[in-house]
């Protein structure tokens, strides 16, 4: 039992950015029964022909805030110099995931064979009995990405090669445009077009409401991801469905009149509507031929997608708040959506995303993985490795990371002529500079919240 593995001084890590090491103690506490024989492991023969057996020797959890908070997982192995880096960032609950990784998950990994990616995924998902949820699934994603990174490095191949090889030249990317009025949004879409984007999301502030999702943080299309909303406590926005429902179709009417039909446009309703409002919006947007309408309903109400579907041919995307494969099943198997847009960082990483993608393929649903600034470069890289190796990829949300983030967590995918490209280096292509990370300590930050005019709670 690695129960006491360094519990004392590592408590300190929660107070600032830092590196948490679990080397040594936990490994020594395990009776080593042979290859891979750690607690909860199955004895199995070595599978990597010609290469010596590998063991996880250390798990480091790095919390850093180079512009906004990120949680990185660095898994060290018994092969000198061979390690993997994963991203376990959950916006606004970073320390809960870091603590899960450090206190509960890392001790289980020491001594284990890092090549057994699926087995480790199953063990960590089903092993604790309590399963799913954003905190646990983000922690799993951090581990999963680091393991795929190790596998790629060991094989000497970029991860997409291990997933079956290329199916396309790059991942069609979309940018974000937003503004206080239609002209500002139009300007934003034009800038995205000039930069080479073929797809752009459009969000506009709603007159009379204070703050509107998607119109403040990333207001400069084609530029770096906006600053994290680092406020001591969450801000409060105001939302009313009626003005929102009247404004959005007019925005797209404006954009189509000014920009024509060529540019692909999409919109994120951000889980704020009820079923009949969602159906109305989808129907009213039909003439403007959106690439898709995103998250019209809250994730709990999968059944309600049927109503939206029955009333409109506007393509629908959903999934960034899903945490498991089974969250995706109802919408996919009934073809109630056209794009599944899970967050690889919150559904357990590449291992689970491949299954979601394969399930979607069988029902003619395409992927559109979540790619905001609040997940780190390793997840963005993982998105693209999957995008370019599956047959049913749709589109990829992307951001440009600020310089400080690029220095601390280098290797994010590159943008070229409308597409995202991963680096051709072995593994995921991303890394973490642990020394530099220490210069950017964690800062408490929350997502905004929202209320209705009568003061009641509203989804943001």
Residue selected from 87, 113, 149, 268 as contacting Mg ion according to rule CB under 5 A: 268
Q: Does 267 bind ligand GCO (CB under 6 A)?
A: no
Q: Does 60 bind ligand GCO (CB under 6 A)?
A: no
Q: Does 270 bind ligand GCO (CB under 6 A)?
A: yes
> Which residue stretch of 33-41, 104-112, 204-212, 369-377 sits at the interface with ligand GCO (rule: CB under 6 A)?
369-377
Dihedral sign (CA 273, 69, 397, 260): positive
- For ligand GCO, the closer of residues 270 and 380 by Cβ is 270
Set 176, 267, 270, 385: catalytic member: 270
Set 213, 292, 440, 442: catalytic member: 213
Catalytic residue status for 176? no
Phi then psi for 135, rounded to 5 degrees? -70, -50
Over the window 374 to 403, marking each residue x when it contacts ligand GCO by CB under 6 A and - when it does not, the resulting string is x----------------------x------
- For Mg ion, the closer of residues 113 and 237 by Cβ is 237
Strand order in the sheet with 457-458: 236-238, 449-451, 457-458
To the nearest whole angstrom, how small is the minimum distance from the Cβ of residue 272 to ligand GCO?
11
Q: Does 268 bind ligand GCO (CB under 6 A)?
A: yes
Q: Bridge-partner residues for 83, per DSSP?
A: 76
- For Mg ion, the closer of residues 268 and 338 by Cβ is 268
Q: Bridge-partner residues for 340, per DSSP?
A: 318, 367
To the nearest whole angstrom, how small is the minimum distance from the Cβ of residue 417 to ligand GCO?
22
* DSSP-derived secondary structure for 177-245: EEESSHHHHHHHHHHHHHHT-SEEEEEEPPTTSS--TTSSTT-STTSBPPPP---SS--EEE--HHHHH
- Asked if 25 and 109 touch (Cβ cutoff 8 Å), the reply is no
Cα angle, residue 122 at apex, residues 119 and 127 outer, rounded to 5°: 120
To the nearest whole angstrom, how small is the minimum distance from the Cβ of residue 91 to ligand GCO?
4
Q: Does 89 bind ligand GCO (CB under 6 A)?
A: no
Q: Does 94 bind Mg ion (CB under 5 A)?
A: no
To the nearest whole angstrom, how small is the minimum distance from the Cβ of residue 275 to ligand GCO?
20
State how far Cα 211 lies from the chain centre.
24
> Which residue stretch of 346-354, 356-364, 370-378, 388-396 sits at the interface with ligand GCO (rule: CB under 6 A)?
370-378
- Tell me which of ligand GCO, Mg ion, none is bound by residue 327, counting a contact when its beta carbon lies within the kind-specific cut-off of 5 to 8 angstroms: none
Token duo for residue 203: 């969000």
To the nearest whole angstrom, how small is the minimum distance from the Cβ of residue 268 to ligand GCO?
5
- For Mg ion, the closer of residues 153 and 370 by Cβ is 370
Sequence-distant contacts of 281-285: CB under 8 A, at least 24 apart = 281/245, 281/248, 281/249, 282/308, 282/311, 282/312, 282/314, 282/316, 283/311, 283/312, 283/314, 284/245, 284/248, 284/249, 285/248, 285/249, 285/252, 285/312, 285/314
Listed in sequence order, the residues at least 6 apart from 256 whose beta carbon sits closer than 8 Å to its beta carbon are: 265, 287, 288, 289
- For Mg ion, the closer of residues 113 and 294 by Cβ is 294
Token duo for residue 322: 């899903």
Catalytic residue status for 213? yes
Residues contributing to the site for Mg ion (CB under 5 A): 268
Residues contributing to the site for ligand GCO (CB under 6 A): 91, 268, 270, 320, 370, 372, 374, 397, 447
What residues are labeled active site? 213, 270
């Amino acid at each position: 039992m690695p129960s006491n593995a360094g519990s004392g001084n590592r408590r300190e890590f929660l107070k600032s950015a830092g590196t948490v090491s679990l080397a040594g103690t936990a490994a020594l506490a395990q009776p080593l029964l042979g290859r891979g024989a750690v607690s909860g492991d199955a004895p199995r023969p070595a599978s990597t022909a010609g290469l010596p057996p590998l063991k996880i020797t250390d798990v480091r959890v790095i919390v850093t805030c180079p512009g906004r908070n990120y949680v990185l997982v660095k898994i060290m192995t018994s092969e000198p110099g061979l390690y993997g880096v994963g991203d376990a960032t959950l916006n606004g609950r970073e320390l809960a995931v870091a603590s899960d990784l450090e206190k509960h998950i890392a001790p289980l990994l020491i001594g284990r064979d890092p090549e057994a990616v699926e087995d480790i995924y199953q063990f960590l998902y089903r092993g604790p009995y309590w399963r799913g949820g954003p905190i646990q699934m983000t922690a799993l994603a951090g581990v999963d990405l680091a393991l795929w990174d190790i596998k790629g490095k060991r094989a000497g191949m970029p991860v997409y090669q291990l997933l079956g090889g290329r199916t396309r030249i790059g991942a069609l990317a979309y940018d974000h445009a937003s503004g206080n009025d239609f002209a500002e949004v139009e300007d934003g879409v034009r800038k995205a077009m000039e930069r080479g984007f073929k797809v752009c999301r459009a969000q506009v502030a709603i007159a009379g409401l204070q703050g509107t999702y998607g119109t403040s943080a990333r207001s400069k299309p084609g530029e770096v991801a906006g600053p994290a909303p680092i406020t001591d406590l969450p801000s409060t926005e105001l939302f009313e469905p009626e003005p929102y429902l009247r404004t959005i179709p007019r925005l797209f009417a404006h954009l189509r009149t000014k920009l024509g039909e060529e540019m692909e446009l999409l919109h994120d309703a951000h889980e704020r509507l009820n079923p009949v409002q969602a159906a109305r919006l989808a129907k009213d947007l039909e003439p403007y031929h959106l690439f898709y309408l995103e998250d019209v309903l809250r994730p709990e109400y999968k059944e309600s997608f049927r109503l939206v579907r029955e009333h409109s041919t506007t393509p629908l995307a959903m999934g960034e708040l899903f945490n498991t494969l089974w969250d995706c099943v109802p919408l996919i198997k009934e073809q109630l959506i056209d794009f599944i847009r899970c967050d690889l960082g919150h559904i357990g990483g590449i291992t689970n995303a491949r299954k979601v993608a394969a399930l979607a393929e069988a029902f003619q649903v395409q992927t559109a993985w979540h790619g905001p600034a609040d997940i780190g470069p390793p997840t963005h890289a993982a998105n693209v490795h999957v995008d370019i190796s599956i047959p049913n990829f749709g589109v990829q949300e992307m951001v440009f990371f600020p310089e400080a983030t690029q220095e601390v967590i280098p290797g994010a995918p590159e943008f070229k002529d409308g597409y995202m490209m991963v680096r051709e280096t072995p593994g995921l292509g991303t890394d973490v500079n642990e020394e530099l990370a220490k210069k950017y300590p964690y800062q408490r930050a929350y997502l905004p919240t929202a209320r209705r005019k009568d003061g009641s709670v509203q989804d943001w």
